[in-house]
Amino acid sequence: MNICIIPARGGSKRIPKKNIKDFLGKPIIAYSIEVAVKSQLFDEVMVSTDDKEIAEVAEKYGAVVPFLRSAKNSDDYSTTADVLLEVLKHYGIKKYQYTCCIYPTAPFVSVKSLSESFQQLDKCGFDSVFPVVPFSYPIQRALKVVDDKVSMVWEEHLKSRSQDLDERYHDTGQFYWFNIKTFIEKEQLFTNNSGAYVIDELNAQDIDNETDWKLAELKYKLLKQ
């Protein structure tokens, strides 16, 4: 049995009401809820929130909100792991085998990405699987600026050609599939036995400010053409 947990705390500072802000016609959290329901991978799709307005929106789009998140796990210092542990303890740890944590601002998540990454988790015996995307430029040739003076972070790559450098990736911040038993033991999603589900740049966008939001909408429109 699988459960989907969507952590959606209220009180976003950089983008007010970020988790329920309109994204091309509907609250952005609706995309995460709807794709989770549509995937048919979950026995339950729940939203963990401390905000009654978010709870109402979540229920409108098909999720359940069986309880409001505790104050302890609703401040700026609570981690995703803290929130997931609270939910799993509420439901009963032994009830489910796998969980997928989908973030509420992840409109690019698809049924395909959820299904294929779940197959990776199940067949390969990973502790967790999450989507990653290649850096658009080789990080080995990164620069640093100190007092307006520029220098290489890794000077040994000063003369390296970009095509000769190994590709590097970063977390997309969209979702994490994980084995509940292992997560309870280690209390972390990223372990030395985590698998990568590689996606391209067009299907990912960090949303931390208004510029990111506009870029995400442009990418989404492009994908849906």
Q: Find the CATH number of the domain harbouring 30.
A: 3.90.550.10
Residue 125 falls in which region: left (phi positive, over 0), alpha (psi -120 to 50) or beta? left
With respect to residue 156, please indicate whether it lies within any of the assigned structural domains.
Answer: no
Residue 148 within a domain: no
Structure tokens at 97: 């085998």
The answer as to whether 162 is a domain residue is no
Residue type, 220: Y
Distance CA 187, CA 70 (A): 18
**85 pLDDT tier (thresholds 50, 70, 90):** very high
Q: Distance between CA atoms of 50 and 68, rounded to whole angstroms? A: 5
pLDDT tens digits along 148-184: 999 999 999 999 998 999 999 999 999 999 999 999 9
18: Cα separation from own chain's centroid: 15
Total domain count for the chain?
1
Distance set, CA 192 to CA 59, 138, 161, 216 (Å): 36, 23, 30, 31
- Which amino acid, one-letter code, is at 10? G
Q: Which domain holds residue 40?
A: 2-132+170-223
Q: Residue 14: what pLDDT? A: 87
Q: Please report whether residue 53 resides in a domain.
A: yes
Asked whether residue 150 is domain-assigned, the answer is no
Length of the chain: 225
Helix, strand, coil tally for the chain in percent (to 5)? 40, 20, 40
> Among residues of the chain, what percentage have pLDDT more than 90?
92
Across the range 126-149, mean pLDDT stands at 96
Region 129-148: mean pLDDT is 96
13 — pLDDT class (breaks 50, 70, 90): confident
Phi, psi of 144 (to 5 degrees): -125, 150
pTM (two decimals) = 0.94
**Contacts with 82 (C-beta within 8 Å, 6 or more apart), sequence order:** 72, 73
**Residue 141 forms part of a structural domain:** no
Is residue 137 included in any domain, yes or no? no
Q: Which two tokens stand for residue 6?
A: 């969507």
Judged against a pLDDT cut of 80, whether residue 144 lies above it is answered with: yes
Query: How far is CA 12 from its chain centroid?
Result: 16
Q: Scanning the structure block, which residue is given the tokens 């794709």?
A: 35
129: left (phi over 0), alpha (psi -120 to 50) or beta: beta
